Structure 1
Amino acid sequence: MNIDRPSSIREAYMRASSFLKEQGVSEAAACTELLLQHVLGWDRTKLLLSWPESFPVERLAEWREMITRKAAGEPVQYIIGEQDFYGLSYAVTPAVLIPRPETELLVEAIVRLGSLRWPGQSPLVADIGTGSGAIAITIAVQCPQWRVWATDLSQAALEVAIKNGRRHVGERIEFLSGDLLAPIVERQAEVDILVSNPPYIPSADMPRLQKEVGQYEPHTALHGGEDGMNYYRRLLSEMDQLPSRPAIAGFEVGQGQAEAVEEMLKRQGKWAYTEIIYDLAGIGRHVLAWRS
């Protein structure tokens, strides 16, 4: 790709976006724009107003490296180290999954149910497998009176989550190292709300994942076992080790899994209500359960 000494920022954009499109990068124009904003340190408005300006020579080497990484398939979010979620910016590294917009629906549902059940009170929320911390932190921002804990088995992921937590809510979230509910069971804490976006990709689907996901995002946060349901079984089983069952539980699920996870919850016979939350495409993305 020829990006040496583009005459303007517009030319740098045109060359890079054309190159990425030729390399089969989806949404090449949008990716190029995000990378330009990052390398120049500008927001989108400043970028669009500055198309005719000369591209800074001192940024060319970094620009070339970023475009090369994107052409190889690396997610833009890992290249720039940031991803927006529910109006906040989160640091992301290859140690954590990149937060997705559909997960915002799960946060909204948990906040809605919890606020109805405990108006003005301080329920304890546990985010299991927190990754970047996006779910736990967004809940803490939306409901500042709630107590929020977050667990993860990966120490590298917890370091990212702690960084994000301090950035947005200070020390309000307690981050715990351990596998699923283990650190909470150890404390015998009475959890009111349990929420999780666990690994849910079936074994057979792992080799067929989009390149940006399968080659770059952490497999431990993706692979859900032979049928993709291992972690839902474990979460429901480990709830029985708590002093009392959470009053509300919410899970993100893979495409085509919502009905099966809802049926697992119903078979327990311990929930008064269940609900599937659908995204804008009509896909069941989240399953909720709550006691009367």
Structure 2
Amino acid sequence: MSEVKSIREAFAEASSFLSQSGCNEPQRSAQLLLEHALGLSGAAYYMALADPFPAAVKEAWEAGVTRRSMGEPVQYIIGEQEFYGRPFEVTPDVLIPRPETELLVEAILRYGAELWPDERPLTAVDIGAGSGAISVTLAAEAPAWRVCAGDISPAALAVAERNALRNGTAVDFRLGDLLEPFAGMETDILVSNPPYIPGEDIAGLQREVRDHEPRTALDGGADGLDPYRRMMEQLALLPALPRLIGFELGFGQAEQVAALLEAAGHWMEIITINDLAGIPRHVLGIAR
């Protein structure tokens, strides 16, 4: 990097460098790295653009830009991603929360309030906790609910626990495979964003995802649907089927996942929700 004179020049140079390096969203990456290095955000960042670039942060700033140019996701470099308006720690042990998952949380909250208008205590279980984005958000937005979450990765659960503490929520985290940690638990709501990428498709993913995000959070087996089938089988571990169930899924999988829910004969209302790009991204089952 050259000897830039202002923060604006640093942004421009980094954006150009990251673009030439083949990074997606080079300007957004440059801004997030700058905000992190400077300890600024929002209006304070924009007001500082004309200020001299501080020499004290040059080394850390250049190291971050270099890492990003090699394909490392900016969220892992700065250690954070916002979800539903809250900050979440992210590490390479967890999938980076995506904006489309906010739509799943929104739907669970909306239909949960509709099914249980008296706001009685409910138990909501999140399968595949990852960073805790879903479970922590549900606990924050619906404090009367008992929220539980499980993951097969101890490292992921450690991140999720820190995020629950950071955001002032109480979540019952459990280590184990899919529904197994919740055997015998009365469950009103079940939600999951499981691995859903077909194994043979992972090699063709963006390098940010393929080379850096945890494969166990991506690989859904030969057709990407293994976790859904296994969860449907493991529903027998619960005393009764939940009245509300919601899954996030991959491109072209909505019909098959909806069919799995329909085959159970419990959820009479099956709803498909599109993401912001118009792709069917979530399937919900509702038993009224």
1:117 shift after superposition: 1.4
- Which of 248, 251, 254 is 1:255 aligned to? 251
The alpha carbon displacement at 1:270 in A equals: 2.1
Equivalent residue number for residue 222 of structure 2: 226
The count of aligned residue pairs is 287
From 279, 284, 287, give the equivalent of 1:283.
279
Deviation at 1:61, TM superposition (A): 0.8
- Aligned partner of 2:88 in structure 1 is 90
Aligned to 2:60: 62
Q: 1:24 aligns with which of 18, 22, 25?
A: 22
Q: Any unmatched runs of 5+ in structure 2? A: none
Partner of 1:126: 125
The equivalent residue for 1:114 is: 112
Q: Residues of 2 paired with 1:52 and 1:73: CA distance?
A: 29
SS at match of 1:64: helix
Q: 2:157 — aligned with what? A: 158
Deviation at 1:169, TM superposition (A): 2.7
Say which SS state the counterpart of residue 102 (structure 1) adopts: helix
Separation (CA, whole Å) in 1 of partners of 2:12 and 2:283: 43
Q: Is the 8 A contact 1:140 1:169 kept in 2?
A: no
Following superposition, the deviation at residue 234 of structure 1 comes to 0.4
Q: 1:272 is matched with which residue?
A: 268
What is the CA deviation profile of residues 128-156 of structure 1, one whole-angstrom value per residue up to 9, with x for unaligned ones? Answer: 00100010111111111011001011010
Q: Could you tell me how far 1:280 is from its partner in structure 2?
A: 2.6
Distance across 2 between alignment mates of 1:168 and 1:19: 35
Which residue number in structure 2 is paired with residue 139 of structure 1? 138
Equivalent in 8, 11, 16 of residue 9 of structure 2? 11
Partners of 1:279 and 1:12 lie apart in 2 by 34
Aligned-partner residue type, residue 154 of structure 1: S
Q: What residue ranges of structure 1 are gaps of 5+ in the alignment?
A: none
Q: Give the Cα–Cα distance (whole angstroms) in 2 for the partners of residues 48 and 242 of structure 1.
A: 52
CA distance in 1, matches of 2:266, 2:145: 24
Q: Given the two structures, how large is their TM-score scaled by the length of structure 2?
A: 0.97
Contact 2:180 2:237 in 1 (8 A): no
- When structure 1 is superposed on structure 2, of 228-237 and 53-62 the one drifting more is 53-62
Deviation at 1:105, TM superposition (A): 0.8
Report if the CA contact (8 A) 1:129-1:198 is conserved: yes
> Aligned equivalents of 2:165 and 2:247: distance in 1?
25
Corresponding residue SS for 1:240: helix
Instruction: Output the CA distance in 2 between the equivalents of 1:178 and 1:222.
Output: 17
SS at match of 1:174: strand
Aligned partner of residue 282 in structure 1, secondary structure: coil
- Cα distance in 1, alignment partners of residues 70 and 277 from structure 2: 29
Percent identity between matched residues is 50
CA distance in 1, matches of 2:125, 2:260: 20
Structure 1 SS opposite 2:125: strand
Q: What is the alpha-carbon distance in structure 2 between the residues aligned to residue 244 and residue 91 of structure 1? A: 34
CA shift at 1:47, angstroms?
Answer: 2.0
Matching residue within 201, 206, 210 for 1:210: 206
TM-score normalised per structure 1: 0.96
Task: Answer whether contact 1:151 1:180 (CA < 8 A) is retained.
Answer: yes
What secondary structure sits across from 2:237 in the alignment?
Answer: coil
**1:216 partner amino acid:** H
Q: Over aligned residues, Cα RMSD in angstroms?
A: 1.0
